[in-house]
């Protein structure tokens, strides 16, 4: 199997490339090594996806890469959906074009200052960050590729949803198939685990881009042994009326049943679990902390195990946003609520009523 990089040929005409070889599926192929990122101009995501060699299982030919189809097929609910886009082979990959993005995108670290001075941080790390909503979709993909703020596939999806909900359309366009292929490429390059099967019911449709095909990055029930997270639902007070606007309250709290895998036997009275409470703050959105002290659980029917860690949690909100019974389940992006507070507050004010059970925690194993 032979492949060449038209992008590199165009970008390196004035350079003397270094010839390298790579063993791919037992066949020696020639490629051209990339010079330092500072020499090359930043490639577009269309060029990056076009430069990724298709695997033998891919239904997309190299000659038709510019019109990647985003259709997928699944024989039944338990089978893994297969997205017909280029995939990265297990053999040595092509030169890492994504590294060129780092020179033009400044990676930011998580801004929870309290985490920097203590060994254990009880602040939930995915809440709440700022996102530049003036970015183009190309800039957004650059951000997902290198930002230290984005630490998982779910946070990446929330970036796209936040930008779609509250950002201004800047006229830039990109085919949704390229966005889907780029997202899957970023997930693989950053070694993010796929989502548990529970997220199969959620729809990810962007008004500015189109359908984000997530099914190929969700484990099927047959792959349950590969899961890397527990999905926890707020089952305590699950019928209490709550929605994301309550995150502005200093009295907000969520309770969960959960026994960490390391606890094989628990002699304590009541159920194992944990409580999340609002952080005392002047900010509009207060953030959430994991309650770890004995007095936090006095009078409660649950008790806390010290093995439960806040840094392993991602708090999310999902529900049916629409009046129709056929409305799909969707994720409302909590991680980036500080991006455009006026627009967010207006949106939350007009949100329908929900319940405690619409809040969930994705807990890393």
Q: Name which of 180, 169, 93, 94 is nearest 136 in CA terms.
A: 169
- DSSP per-residue codes, 254-281: EEEE---TT-----SSSEEEEEEEEPP-
Between 300 and 99, where is the model more confident?
300
Instruction: Write out the H or E segment, with its range, that includes residue 159.
Output: helix 153-166
Question: 37 and 146 in contact (C-beta within 8 Å)?
Answer: no
Question: 8 and 48 in contact (C-beta within 8 Å)?
Answer: no
Please give the DSSP secondary-structure letter assigned to residue 336.
Answer: T
Tell me the pairing of strands 359-364 and 27-32. unpaired
Percent of the chain past pLDDT 90, that is, above it, reads 42
Q: How would residue 6 be classed by pLDDT, with cut points 50, 70 and 90?
A: very low
Q: How would residue 263 be classed by pLDDT, with cut points 50, 70 and 90?
A: very high
Question: 314 and 287 in contact (C-beta within 8 Å)?
Answer: no
Determine the pLDDT at residue 85: 36
Between 64 and 254, where is the model more confident?
254
Tell me the pairing of strands 302-303 and 271-278. parallel
The pLDDT of 123-137, averaged and rounded, is 93
In tens, the pLDDT along 308-356 reads 999 999 999 998 877 677 788 999 999 999 988 888 888 888 787 788 8
Burial of 341 (0-12, 13-18, 19+ CB in 10 A): middle
Model's pTM, two decimal places?
A: 0.72
Determine the pLDDT at residue 172: 67
Determine the pLDDT at residue 314: 97
Determine the pLDDT at residue 181: 94
Determine the pLDDT at residue 328: 85
Is the pLDDT reported for residue 127 higher than 50? yes
Is the pLDDT reported for residue 166 higher than 80? yes
Whether omega for the bond prior to residue 128 falls within 30 degrees of 0, making it cis, is yes
Determine the pLDDT at residue 281: 86
Determine the pLDDT at residue 42: 66
Determine the pLDDT at residue 221: 82
Q: How would residue 160 be classed by pLDDT, with cut points 50, 70 and 90?
A: very high
Average pLDDT, the chain: 75
Determine the pLDDT at residue 119: 54
46-50, 96-100, 160-164, 360-364: least confidently modelled range: 96-100
- DSSP per-residue codes, 276-331: EEEPP-SSSS--EEE--SGGGGTT-SEE--TT--GGGEEEEEEEE-SSSTTPPEEE
257 bridge partner residues: 273
The pLDDT of 221-229, averaged and rounded, is 81
Torsion angle (degrees, nearest 10) of CA 199, 200, 202, 205: 120
In tens, the pLDDT along 264-275 reads 999 998 999 999
- DSSP per-residue codes, 20-81: EEEEETTEEEEEE----TTTSPPPPHHHHHHHSPPPTT-S--GGGGGG----EE-SSTTSPP
Determine the pLDDT at residue 324: 72
């Amino acid at each position: 199997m032979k492949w060449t990089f038209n992008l590199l040929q165009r970008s390196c005409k004035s350079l003397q490339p270094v010839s390298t070889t790579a063993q791919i599926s037992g066949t020696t192929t020639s490629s051209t090594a990339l010079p330092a990122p500072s020499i090359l101009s930043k490639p577009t995501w269309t060029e990056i996806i076009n430069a990724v060699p298709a695997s033998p299982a891919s239904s997309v030919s190299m000659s038709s890469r510019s019109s990647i189809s985003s259709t997928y097929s699944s024989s039944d609910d338990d089978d893994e959906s297969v997205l017909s886009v280029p995939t990265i082979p297990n053999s040595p990959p092509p030169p890492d074009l994504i590294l060129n993005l780092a020179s033009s995108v400044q990676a930011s670290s998580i801004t929870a200052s309290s985490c920097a001075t203590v060994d254990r941080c009880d602040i939930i790390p995915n809440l709440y960050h700022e996102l530049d909503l003036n970015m183009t979709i190309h800039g957004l993909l650059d951000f997902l590729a290198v930002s230290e703020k984005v630490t998982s596939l779910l946070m990446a999806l929330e970036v796209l949803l936040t930008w779609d909900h509250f950002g201004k359309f800047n006229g830039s366009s990109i085919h949704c198939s390229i966005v889907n292929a780029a997202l899957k490429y970023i997930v693989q390059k950053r070694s993010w685990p796929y989502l548990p099967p529970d997220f199969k019911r959620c729809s990810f449709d962007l008004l500015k881009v189109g359908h984000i095909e997530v099914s190929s990055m969700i484990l099927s029930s047959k792959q349950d042994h590969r899961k890397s997270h527990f999905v926890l639902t707020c089952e305590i007070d699950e019928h209490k009326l709550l929605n994301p606007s309550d995150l502005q309250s200093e009295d907000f709290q969520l309770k969960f049943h959960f026994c960490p895998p390391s606890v094989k036997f628990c002699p304590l009275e009541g159920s194992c679990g944990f409580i999340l409470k609002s952080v005392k703050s002047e900010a509009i959105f207060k953030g959430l902390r994991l309650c770890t002290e004995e007095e936090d659980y006095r009078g409660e029917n649950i008790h806390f195990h010290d093995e439960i860690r806040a840094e392993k949690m991602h708090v999310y909100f999902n529900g049916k946003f629409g009046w129709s019974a056929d409305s799909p389940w969707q994720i409302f992006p909590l991680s980036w609520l500080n991006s455009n507070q006026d627009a967010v507050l207006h949106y939350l004010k007009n949100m329908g009523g929900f319940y405690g059970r619409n809040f969930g925690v994705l807990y890393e194993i």
